[in-house]
């Protein structure tokens, strides 16, 4: 059965498959990739936020479920925090 469905649905758009199933009264739903959800109504609920990618662009991130606001934050570049980390480690070593 799986091969039959995959063969039939593989050459069709998701929306066309759903429309055909709904017309035939077959329960169904669309499985989406993460990038598809970002463009959907879910994005308007605050489930995602934009962060500076450190290279002049932005990246879409899942918002924190704990209420931590990531909007407008910058993603650190590799090694970008070295001075702060090394300074902290040095202060811990001294005392």
Contact 59, 50 (CB under 8 A): yes
Confidence of residue 61 (pLDDT cuts 50, 70, 90): confident
Q: Is residue 10 pLDDT above 70, yes or no?
A: yes
Helix (H, G, I), strand (E, B) or coil at 87: helix
**pLDDT tens-digit map of 13-59:** 988 999 999 999 999 888 877 667 666 666 677 777 778 887 888 88
Strand partners, 49: 61
Helix (H, G, I), strand (E, B) or coil at 61: strand
Q: Which residue has the tokens 């479920």?
A: 65
For 27, the token pair is 């329960």
Q: Is residue 86 pLDDT above 90, yes or no?
A: yes
Choice between 71 and 83, residue whose per-residue pLDDT is larger? 83
Q: What is the pLDDT of residue 35?
A: 67
């Amino acid at each position: 059965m799986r091969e039959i469905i995959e063969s039939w649905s593989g050459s069709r758009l998701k929306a066309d498959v759903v429309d055909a199933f709904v017309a035939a009264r077959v329960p169904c739903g669309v499985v989406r990739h993460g990038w598809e959800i970002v463009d959907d109504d879910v994005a308007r609920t605050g489930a995602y936020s934009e962060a500076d990618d450190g290279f002049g662009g932005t990246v879409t991130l899942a918002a924190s479920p704990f209420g931590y606001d990531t909007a407008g934050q910058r993603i650190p570049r590799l090694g970008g925090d070295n001075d702060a980390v090394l300074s902290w480690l040095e202060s811990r070593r001294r005392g």
